[in-house]
Chains A and B, each alone.
Chain A
Amino acid sequence: MNQETITLTEDEKDVLQELMNIAYGSATTVIAEMLDAFASLSIPKIEILKTTSLLAKFDDLKSTSYFFSTQAFMGEFSGESVFFINKVSANNLAQHLELENNEDIHDAILELTNVLTSSLTTRLAQEMKTEITYSSPNISEISLEQIADTQTFKNYSQVIVIYIQINFKDQKINGEIFILTKDGSIQWLKQRLNSILAALI
């Protein structure tokens, strides 16, 4: 694991922010179509964090019980998305989709995770002229104390966190998605962002 501290310059951050803005715009449309509802996504926040700081960030979501789902994406730009949705929102989502049972709720959350991950990262990948593939998403109803023990997070020394809030105002559905990229991918991302920067000048 690369223990060196990698940082993004202000310029690199700006380019990534622009790319994410494009990606989140298209994701908003896709989600609205999928759910046949008006969704608003917050403007993505981008940070490079140590895993410990990330877990502290997750800790802020502790106030309500929640579902926690993840989905890996692979390619030159690889990583994992983490989606949090509280139980009230999950139930509202189930109601909106007219789902019948608990398993269907889980399926819908996974679908939402998949849609968010795919729509955000596919567009980002397109902008960076690369391709990515996706593993199937996973869901678990676990406590934050257990998240800290989750191997997933031990595999990262530092992560680029792209944090977006999703809000379906009418349906009262809120969620948070974190796009996390691995150490090696951060290096790749820096190179690619610099190429884009060079092309712009």
Chain B
Amino acid sequence: MAQTKIEQYISCIDIDKKLISNINNGILILDDKLTIYYFNKWLELHTKLKEQDVLYKQLDTIFTTIKTKTLIRKIKTALNIGSPTFYIADISKYLIPIKINQIKASNYTYMQQDVSIIPFDKTKKIVALIITDQTNISNTNSLLKANINKVNILNNELVKERDTINKKVLLIKIDTNNIIQNVSQAYLELIKYDKNELLQHDYFEYLRPFTKEKLLQDIKKYMKSKTVFKFEQKFFTKRKQEIWLKNTLLPEYDNFGNHIGFIFFKENITASKKLQLHQKKLLVHSRLVAKREMISMIAHQWRQPLSVITANISNLIISKELDTLTNETIDKSYEQILTTISSLSDTIDFFRDFFNPCKSLSETYLNELTNKSVYLLKNDFKKYNINYIEEMDQNLKIVTYKNELVQTLMSILKNSLDALLEIKIKNKNIILKAFKKNNYINIMIIDNAGSINKETLNQIFEPYFSTKSKNGSGLGLYMCKIIVKDYLNGHISLSSHKNETKVLIKLPLTIH
């Protein structure tokens, strides 16, 4: 069969030589003294040196950066073991210095090379060096190394954050079937359960039946409304210890946006709950104290009218015994007794509903509340020559819990009265000022009973702190603060300067 042109061509050429001449690698043949016996076309092109100019010369005299001792050792080793030895681009960078002109993303001035030293003829101590351009791979490697470092840094940060969350944040993850998938260490420590006791169990198994039903309904509503769902929960630890938790519920989605469960972020509010309960108890206690004080004030208030009634009756008896009793005297006494009894009755009516805490907000003129506050104190103001002055717009209205505000004002006014009774000055004053500022009403009660030292001022709103020598429960101002802050949504402060003490109560025009 006749040969084709290609077949003829292939049979005529020296394939090995042509391949080596055109291969995209540098090929060198050296002996163990580094004498060059072959220098292929690739090397000619890259080094700009002609083969005839380098043949039979020492490689390390042409390329002076070569470490002669190392190369000779590698050549000898290759010949000795009968298999290749290597230079690795990652470590040795290059053997033959070939400048590169890559602009894009090149970190190197010289071509990075892998070099395989292949034993060629052991007896003649000749090896072949195959040089491969690894610049692109080295660039990619250095880029990868830089990114791996970044990823490692980020990963370390994430691991630290995860550890911190695990140790510090109370959280529990459940799937859509309410099965617990993860629990933070912090939460386990709080509830005294072991992780295995919770994982893969129904979350609601640990809740009371009512809480479970209510919570499930709320979660359904929340999922529809897409709002942040928060709720408080009473929980019993494994050791039957009662704790209060504030929960914030977040839905969890997978990478495809499918809802896969919920995360409950929990906050231990046991301490604040206990404080709230304590405050409630104190409030009840303070009401009893206020009631006792008021009854005492009413009794004090009644003493004078009762004296009037007694005097009238005595007058009637004496007049009768002296036989001087006239119809006019009877009528006058009768009228005076009726008026006095009526005033006694008014006093009772005025404070009839005071002891019941207001359950609803109502709009009232502020002066009605101040009148009520000062009603039982007026006689003492008069008796002890204390000037009580009110400065306010008579049309000032407020929407608030009336009885709570009256109790607060009365307590402060009584404090001013008691303070003024303990000092001897000529003009004793109590001024009540009220004015509107923005959406607030400021009420100031100022007395001139002397200044209060800084140490006392710092403690004045603390519970059971009293400066009164006797009959002081130490709850008056503390309860004023609790009522103003927690019930009336306001703010109370006390300042003292020179001989004056000023209590400022700032209340919203309307409680929302």
Contact surface of A with B, Cβ cutoff 8 Å? 30, 33-34, 97-98, 103-104, 106-107, 110-111, 114-115, 118-119, 122, 134, 136-139
Contacts and interface: CB of A to CB of B under 8 A. Distances in A.
A126 to B, nearest CB: 9
Contacts of A138: 88, 90
Nearest to B83: A118
A136 B114 contact: yes
B13 interface: no
A115 B88 contact: no
Task: Give the 10 A-B CB pairs with smallest separation, nearest first.
Answer: A118-B83, A136-B86, A106-B91, A118-B81, A34-B77, A119-B81, A30-B81, A107-B91, A30-B80, A103-B91
Given A103-B92, A104-B70, A110 B86 contact: yes
B80 A136 contact: no
A65 to B, nearest CB: 18
Contacts of A118: 81-84
B80 A33 contact: yes
A107 B87 contact: yes
Contacts of A136: 86, 88, 114, 116
A137 B82 CA distance: 17
A119 B80 CA distance: 9
B81 A111 contact: no
B281 interface: no
Contacts of B82: 118, 122
B84 A134 contact: yes
A18 to B, nearest CB: 21
19 contacts: A33-B76, A33-B77, A97-B73, A103-B92, A103-B93, A104-B67, A107-B87, A107-B91, A110-B88, A111-B85, A114-B77, A114-B86, A115-B81, A115-B85, A118-B82, A118-B84, A122-B82, A136-B114, A137-B88
Interface in B85-131: 85-88, 90-93, 114, 116
B116 A111 contact: no
A122 B83 contact: yes
A115 B79 CA distance: 11
Contacts of A139: 88, 90-91
A136 to B, nearest CB: 4
Given A34-B77, A110-B88, 17 more contacts: A30-B81, A97-B73, A103-B92, A107-B87, A107-B91, A110-B86, A110-B91, A111-B86, A114-B77, A115-B77, A118-B81, A118-B84, A119-B81, A122-B83, A134-B84, A136-B116, A139-B88
A137 B86 contact: yes
Contacts of B80: 30, 33-34
A114 B91 contact: no
A130 to B, nearest CB: 14
B73 A34 contact: yes
A137 B69 CA distance: 21
Interface in B155-208: none
Contacts of A104: 67, 70
Contacts of A106: 91
Nearest to A100: B67
A182 B86 CA distance: 24
A110 B116 CA distance: 13
A134 B77 CA distance: 15
A114 B84 CA distance: 8
A34 B76 contact: yes
A34 B70 CA distance: 11
Contacts of A110: 86, 88, 91
A115 B119 CA distance: 13
B41 interface: no
B74 interface: yes
Interface-centre pick from B77, B93, B114 (highest chain A CB count, 10 A): B77
B93 to A, nearest CB: 8
Interface string B428-466: 000000000000000000000000000000000000000
Contacts of A107: 70, 87-88, 91-92
Nearest to A135: B86
Contacts of A119: 81
Nearest to A99: B70
A114 B85 contact: yes
Interface-centre pick from B76, B91, B92, B116 (highest chain A CB count, 10 A): B91
Contacts of B93: 103
Nearest to A125: B83
Nearest to A122: B83
A111 B77 contact: yes
A57 B76 CA distance: 34
Contacts of B81: 30, 115, 118-119, 122
Contacts of B83: 118, 122, 134
Contacts of A103: 91-93
A28 to B, nearest CB: 12
A141 to B, nearest CB: 12
Interface in B316-373: none
